[in-house]
Amino acid sequence: MSDDTTKPSGAEAHEQTSAEAVHEQVVAHETGRDASEPPVPRGNQILKEIFGGSAAISVLAVVLALIVGGILIVMTDEAVAEASGYFFSRPLDTLTAAWDAVAGAYSALFRGSVFNYLRADDLVAAFRPITETLANATPLIAAGLGVALAFRVGLFNIGGRGQMLIAAAAAGYVGAYIPMPPVIHLIVALVIGIIGGALWGGLVGLLKARTGAHEVIVTIMHNYIAFYLVSFLLRTPGALQAPGQNNPKSGPMLETAQFPSLLGEQYNLNIGFILVILATIYTWYLLNRSALGFRFRAVGENPHAAQVAGINVKTVYVQVMLIAGGLVGLAGVYQVLGNFTGGFAAGLDAGIGFTAITVALLGRSKAWGVFFAGILFGALQAGSYTMQAAEGIPVDIVLVVQSFIVLFIAAPPLVRSIFRLPTPDPLFRWRTPKLDRVSEVSK
């Protein structure tokens, strides 16, 4: 009896050893490490993943962009230019002027986006900057989630502007011209707007699935169609144009359809921020915990392999663009029911649809990455006005910083070479699979 029980265990041990040997050979092939060398301690592997992974690259890309922005501030500052005229006789004056220019600019950026320590005696004024940052970040997060979700399926959704405009027009019409009881009015306007954005985005997915039309071309054309369609409706009496005026502008939103404030009338932050938190949680759950999200990720990795595995790729394209359009549409709804409650025009998107692409790239197309990337861009936008008013720094410097963020995000090897970061192991697993843990225990 004892011999019968020991033979299977010996076979299992042999199979386990063989599997580990094969795994070591694969790791050696992928990483260039000699298979005969002892395995790297897991603690070292974790540190390598942390400092060489995508999160570290994103943070360091922002740091490099801020450094480049500081150099541009120094090059355009008048005090630095004046002090550099006698640099060789008094070099410390130039260095001091350069430091004052950069420190003054970024401290103003901090005061305008996080906390105004110069107004610490007035708590309302001191904490207003952080609420402005969150208010500016709200539509960026919503639109960024829509772009990121399409990215995960391999689709380049640059139709955020059109999806925002259609959603804003649908929600704006309900909010301005169809009276309803409180709460119900807000919910109906919100849902109608999201449905409008979803249908506009879903049309792109349908054309991609049925005709093979490239989503980039289709979304660009849809941006123009949506813009001129909404412009026409805003100039047409009885459609979106406010009664009794000739300007291409809608009527004001009824009070029952406006987003309520979160912290009182002294702040611009409203319930829209809570909605984007819920949208972020939904997107995270969809991609990481649902069967639909698994199909999305499978198609994004390899649509041909997904098709062979039984996944209907065409259906996935339609589904993901419906959801992505709804998320971007939430940004348009926020604009009309939260920002432009006095009436909106065709320029309400304010470039958010294209900035959302940068937000999605910085967030690595992950839900919480997009959330924090949107807050960063909201801070840059909120602080840029204080930086211009207090230090005379052009707002365009912030646009340059955003552009360099995209540049460094698109070139991870460049960031790794600058900071001497290790290249992450492509086969590294943060958690040991359950079967492996069981085998380790059995040893």
Residue 319 domain-assigned (yes or no): yes
Q: How far apart are CA 272 and CA 405, in angstroms?
A: 27
Specify whether the CB–CB gap between 332 and 197 falls below 8 A. Answer: yes
The CATH number assigned to the domain holding 226 equals: 1.10.3470
Q: How far apart are CA 413 and CA 423, in angstroms?
A: 9
Residue 60 domain-assigned (yes or no): no
Specify whether the CB–CB gap between 323 and 198 falls below 8 A. Answer: yes
What residues form DSSP beta bridges with 261? 270
Residue 306 domain-assigned (yes or no): yes
For residue 237, report the phi and psi dihedrals to the nearest 5 degrees: -60, 140
Q: How far apart are CA 321 and CA 78, in angstroms?
A: 49
Report how far Cα 182 is from the mean position of its chain's Cα atoms.
Answer: 32
Domain total of the chain: 1
For residue 250, report the phi and psi dihedrals to the nearest 5 degrees: -80, 170
Specify whether the CB–CB gap between 162 and 354 falls below 8 A. Answer: no
Residue 46 domain-assigned (yes or no): no
Predicted pLDDT at 277: 96
Q: How far apart are CA 118 and CA 103, in angstroms?
A: 15
Specify whether the CB–CB gap between 80 and 92 falls below 8 A. Answer: no
Distance of CA 217 to CAs 203, 213, 223, 326, 391, Å? 13, 8, 10, 20, 42
Report how far Cα 106 is from the mean position of its chain's Cα atoms.
Answer: 23
CA atoms within 13 A on the CB side of 294: 6
Write out the two tokens for 211.
Answer: 């005709």
Its sign, for the CA torsion 221, 227, 230, 236, is negative
Distance of CA 431 to CAs 121, 428, 437, Å? 49, 9, 10
Q: How far apart are CA 256 and CA 278, in angstroms?
A: 22
Residue 56 domain-assigned (yes or no): no
Q: Distance between terminal CA atoms of the chain? A: 21
Q: How far apart are CA 23 and CA 220, in angstroms?
A: 46
Q: How far apart are CA 70 and CA 73, in angstroms?
A: 5
Predicted pLDDT at 341: 87
Distance of CA 323 to CAs 148, 171, 197, Å? 11, 17, 9
Q: How far apart are CA 392 and CA 395, in angstroms?
A: 9
Strands in 56-112 per DSSP E? none
Predicted pLDDT at 379: 93
CA atoms within 13 A on the CB side of 221: 9
C-alpha radius of gyration, the chain, whole number: 27
Domain that holds residue 328: 132-391
* Among 413, 433, 329, 442, residue whose Cα is nearest residue 60: 413
Q: How far apart are CA 342 and CA 248, in angstroms?
A: 13
Residue 112 domain-assigned (yes or no): no
Number of Cβ within a 10 Å radius of residue 396: 11
Residue 413 domain-assigned (yes or no): no
DSSP string, 125-153: HHHHHHHHHHHHHHHHHHHHHHHHHHHHT
Specify whether the CB–CB gap between 150 and 388 falls below 8 A. Answer: no
Specify whether the CB–CB gap between 408 and 65 falls below 8 A. Answer: yes
DSSP structure class, residue 48: H
What residues form DSSP beta bridges with 237? 241
Q: How far apart are CA 317 and CA 380, in angstroms?
A: 34
Q: At what angle do helices 123-152 and 352-362 cross, to 10 degrees?
A: 80
Residue type at position 341:
T
- Residue whose entry in the numeric block shows the structure tokens 């049925």: 210
* Among 21, 30, 41, residue whose Cα is nearest residue 426: 30
Predicted pLDDT at 426: 59
Residue 280 domain-assigned (yes or no): yes
Number of Cβ within a 10 Å radius of residue 248: 18
pLDDT tens digits, the chain, 443 residues: what are they? 444 444 445 555 555 555 555 555 555 555 555 555 555 555 555 555 554 567 788 888 889 999 999 999 998 888 888 888 888 888 898 999 999 999 999 999 999 999 998 888 888 888 999 999 999 999 999 999 999 999 999 999 999 999 999 999 999 999 999 999 999 999 999 999 999 999 999 999 999 999 999 999 999 999 999 999 999 999 988 888 988 888 899 989 999 999 999 988 888 899 999 999 999 999 999 999 999 999 999 999 999 999 999 999 999 999 999 999 999 999 999 999 998 888 899 888 888 988 999 999 889 899 999 999 999 999 999 998 888 888 888 888 888 888 888 888 888 888 888 888 777 665 555 555 554 444 444 54
